[in-house]
Structure 1
Amino acid sequence: MDKTLIPAKGSAVAAENIFPAAKLPRLLSLDALRGFDMFWIMSGEHVVHAAAKATNWPVLLWFSGQLHHTEWNGITFYDMIFPLFLFIAGVSMPYSFHHKMEKAGVTDPMDLPGTDKRKIYVAMIRRTLILLFLGWVVNGLFRFDGVENTRFASVLGRIGLAWFFAGLIYMNFNLRAQLYWFSGILVAYWAAMLFIPVPGYGAGILTMQGSLESYVDQLLLPGRLHDPGHDPEGILSTIPAIGSALLGVFTGQFLKLNSEKWPMYKKGIALFVAGLLLIALGMLWDLNFPVNKRLWSSSFVLLVGGWSMVFLSVFYLIIDVAGYRKWAFPFVLIGVNSILIYLAAEGMIDFKQTSNFVFGGLINLACATWQDTLAALGVVCTQLALLYFLYKNKIFLKI
């Protein structure tokens, strides 16, 4: 736990309204977007599902449907939550490395002295190993069911690995070379998935059982897979996930750019337009290589990367450019402790039982139709109360 207060002035934004006596070394919009992203999986989805059931309103029924993963090809809002988090981790990288470069007196990570680079590499490896371990914990490592019943692939593990390799590319290559890496990863993955034959299936079979990604997992991934013969966070599909993190790295470098030609509002608009272009490219590639979260297809990287840029541009323009910050405070509470609340919501804390203890009597007095919705809102309030307590006491889980 890091018990230092997050500063309130960043390289591009002042956030005195929310963080009165602090300095914020990263964009406030980024913390808010991270919190918005995490909100849906920590409890927000249950509020929408319950409200849709209670009201039968078409809009809520549609959104409730969006808060489920697609079976295979296609995409929903829920499918974008994981890659958006990975994109945000990439955006943060140039900001977090900036302070290390300032101390070394350089402006480019490639110019860092060898000693400083080694320290960063050690920190990156440590962070990745911690995320891999926490992913195993979430998967039930301490149930001690044996290696064959333990799932080693995980969401946190993929975030750690993709972030790590994106960081290596950022540390050792200039922007042009980084773009080559990004393009090469997506094209190479597309070529491998379509042209390398799988024993018993052949080449280009993009099914759950017959894809090259599934074959590699069956061959190399120890323990239990998420599905019979397939894991959505498997080995091969982690490679294009590096591309998702790199899109964030490109975005972070652009937003950090200090140039009179690029005032903040222009950056926000440019980011929005770039997002739309990536969405169009992803939809175009979908004709040949379907958008598929489980395979983390190259078209999926472009499409979701585009939506990630659109989301960030909207938050950036509203919060950092226009200065409307107070509404985002609940999301900021989630965003600055996102890993902690993810671990807690995944089973380490029974928020439902705590909420029922506090609000259960009042909820039982309500109309039966709305009790599930109120119970879900009670969980949200309980989680936010914990996060606010941690924030007020300057407790932040840093990995």
Structure 2
Amino acid sequence: MQSSTVSTPEPTLAQPAPVRRLLSLDALRGFDMFWIIGGEEIFHVLAKTTGWAWAIFMADQFTHVDWNGFRPYDCIFPLFLFLAGVSTPYSLGSRLDRGDDRGAMVRKIITRGLVLVLLGILYNNGLFTKPLAEMRFPSVLARIGLGGMFAQLIYVYVRNERARYGIFAGILLVYWALLMLVPVPGFGAGNLTMEGSLVGYVDRLVMPGRLYKVVHDPEGLLSTLPAIATGLLGVFAGTVLRHKNVSDSQKLQRLALAGVVCVVVGWIWNIVLPVNKNLWTSSFVLVAGGWSLLALSLFYWIIDIMNWRRWTFFFVVIGMNSILIYLAGEVIDFEHTAHFLFGGMLSFFSDPIRSVGAVVAFLAVKWAFLYFLYKKNVFLRV
């Protein structure tokens, strides 16, 4: 990991900066990151302070399903990983086409993945602040690092596109078979509860430290396998977008059609294998991946085809330092800064306005911090 100063900013998110960027990709990454850094709190505060039906509905959509099922907020994390996959054909494809040293690329890919695992451990536990038994080793960053790393390695070593699709399907089918056929002591095979699933059993058996939900970790070891498929789905989308002999309208049609097909097949699969983010089930990969494809299609159409770009700057600034702002919340008290700058002014307003204003001020301080770095051309590179 290093902090770099360059003449031309290059957005990064758990992968090397590509040679040619799509503004739609950068904007969608920033849009996704906006909700991760606290944007959803606007709806939660509105629901709590006003009781408005639409605010309550939106706040509910920005919560995770307890176990089986799917809400829009369940797509935020897989979209993050999906977009890392979309960048891969841009960042690695041209180098492979030029015949660059594959070994050097692989070393960088593996190093990047392992650094994200270490950053995830630091994010969860701080530096030497907890005994080993109380540390949580799985993390969001580790899921992105490992899922993206293996997806990129498949892209580098498997040059035949049909073979990549076969690996994608194989991962989903093998994971389904593992969940349904491998017995768990005391629960048998095919048990998809938190306590009885093979995912939780493997976590309890091999993971050191503590698990996020005591008997299960949503970013645990075994469920990293289908996360690779999420990254690969992004690789497939990036391959379509990078294709030079296909028109923009054809690219849009292919992405949108693939998104619809994934969502439909995922919900059909849900009949026998529930859509479940905690287990990252194969059906969840398709549903979340399908919506990710549709989101990318929408942004690609608006930004890169229709050329409506002015509104994207707000989100691009966020996306260009996505890893940094994710980590910064653990070491910088943005809430205190927002209260110091805006708390006095907000005290003159009613409770709903004051509460929503506090969230907006919090987000504004974060964005101003990122904008300062953007203007200075300073970006955290992983």
Q: TM-score range by the shorter chain?
A: over 0.9
Task: Give the distance between the partners of 1:85 and 1:190, measured in 2 at CA.
Answer: 23
Q: TM-score w.r.t. structure 1 length?
A: 0.91
Alignment of 1:93-104 (within 5 A): 93-101=88-96
Q: Which runs of 5+ in 2 are unaligned?
A: 11-17
Query: Is residue 2:295 matched to residue 1:311?
Result: yes
Partner AA of 2:184 in structure 1:
V
Residues 63 and 6 of structure 1: CA distance in aligned 2, closer, same or farther (over 3 Å): farther
Q: TM-score w.r.t. structure 2 length?
A: 0.95
Query: Residue 47 of structure 1: CA displacement?
Result: 1.4
Query: Is residue 2:31 matched to residue 1:55?
Result: no
Q: Which moved more, 1:364-373 or 1:212-221?
A: 364-373
Task: Name the counterpart of 1:331.
Answer: 315
Q: Which runs of 5+ in 1 are unaligned?
A: 9-22, 107-111
Task: Give the distance between the partners of 1:131 and 1:263, measured in 2 at CA.
Answer: 36
Task: Name the counterpart of 1:168.
Answer: 153
Query: Residue 270 of structure 1: CA displacement?
Result: 2.1
Q: Contact 1:6–1:24 at 8 Å: present in 2 too?
A: no
Task: Name the counterpart of 1:14.
Answer: none
Task: Give the distance between the partners of 1:330 and 1:324, measured in 2 at CA.
Answer: 14
Task: Name the counterpart of 1:11.
Answer: none
Residues 143 and 376 of structure 1: CA distance in aligned 2, closer, same or farther (over 3 Å): farther
Partner AA of 2:253 in structure 1:
I
Q: Deviations over 1:70-127 (max 9, x none)?
A: 110001111111100000000001101134235xx24xxxxx5xxx111111111211
Task: Name the counterpart of 1:340.
Answer: 324
Task: Name the counterpart of 2:6.
Answer: 4
Query: Residue 365 of structure 1: CA displacement?
Result: 1.1
Query: Residue 5 of structure 1: CA displacement?
Result: 4.0
Task: Name the counterpart of 2:201.
Answer: 215
Q: Which moved more, 1:250-259 or 1:365-374?
A: 365-374
Aligned length: 372
Paired residue for 1:271, among 255, 258, 263? 255
Q: Contact 2:96–2:102 at 8 Å: present in 1 too?
A: no
Larger RCO (CA under 8 A, 6+ residues apart): 2
Q: Contact 2:27–2:319 at 8 Å: present in 1 too?
A: yes
Q: Deviations over 1:186-210 (max 9, x none)?
A: 0000001001111111000000000
Paired residue for 1:299, among 273, 283, 298? 283
Paired residue for 1:140, among 117, 122, 125? 125
Task: Name the counterpart of 1:75.
Answer: 70
Q: Contact 2:252–2:300 at 8 Å: present in 1 too?
A: yes
Q: Contact 1:243–1:301 at 8 Å: present in 2 too?
A: yes
Partner AA of 1:391 in structure 2:
Y
Identity %: 48
Q: Contact 1:2–1:397 at 8 Å: present in 2 too?
A: yes
Q: Which moved more, 1:69-78 or 1:290-299?
A: 69-78
Task: Name the counterpart of 1:130.
Answer: 115
Query: Residue 395 of structure 1: CA displacement?
Result: 0.8
Task: Give the distance between the partners of 2:352 and 2:163, measured in 1 at CA.
Answer: 57
